[in-house]
Amino acid sequence: MKENIRMQQLVVGQISTNCYLIQNEDTKELIIVDPGDEAQRIERSIEKMHGIPVAIILTHGHFDHFLAVNGLRKYFPSVKLYIGESEKEMLENPVLNCSEDGPSYQINADVWVKEGDVLKLAGFEITVISTPGHTAGSVCYYFKNEGILLSGDTLFNESYGRTDLPTGSEPAMQESLRKLLTTLPENVRVFPGHEEETTIGHEKEYEGFN
């Protein structure tokens, strides 16, 4: 990992979602990834890092990955929200985003991303990889120069995301896993939406893609 990148992981919310704060140490600009809950705690962490938030990026539209978005927008009103272009209905529909059984939640995005987009945020170049399966619009974010992948609920350590929730698909998931594990370098560090980090090489071997 390059020297100018700093990452902080916060485990937040009722489903222990990994929220990542990715900071450019040279400029202090910062990207918020999957802020699943506890907006005030996330804001305090950003303050301790002397961070300047420039974007919130979501890997997909389930409520446990976005509950802190509206709270963070109050702290940082100019920061835009990025998510896969196929997740619009999920963000707006509590049944699809799995929040219908409790308080229901809806949010709106500012920027819709798709396969192959290269986002230039906080001094980093981030390639969007479309990875449907957990949801139809799930995406991963690949920091090629830094050798890291934000995999959301697509790829976990020796596991992968559920495919039985709204818009999920097991065949699509298997194709997305194959895409990640056969095209990315083995030394890429993978930071998932839940639990601990892994590498492409480890998962390639575990999933039998050698």
Tens-place pLDDT, residues 60-103: 999 999 999 999 999 999 999 999 999 999 999 999 999 988 78
DSSP 124-181: EEEEEEE-TTSSTT-EEEEETTTTEEEEETTEETTEE--SSSTT--HHHHHHHHHHHH
Residue 103: its pLDDT value, please?
82
pLDDT level of residue 210 (50, 70, 90 thresholds): low
Would you state the pLDDT for residue 1?
Answer: 57
Instruction: Count the residues in the chain.
Output: 210
Where are the domains positioned within the chain?
Answer: 5-207
Distances (CA, A) of 99 to 47, 128, 156, 194: 30, 26, 23, 18
pTM: 0.96
Superfamily of domain 5-207: Ribonuclease Z/Hydroxyacylglutathione hydrolase-like (3.60.15.10)
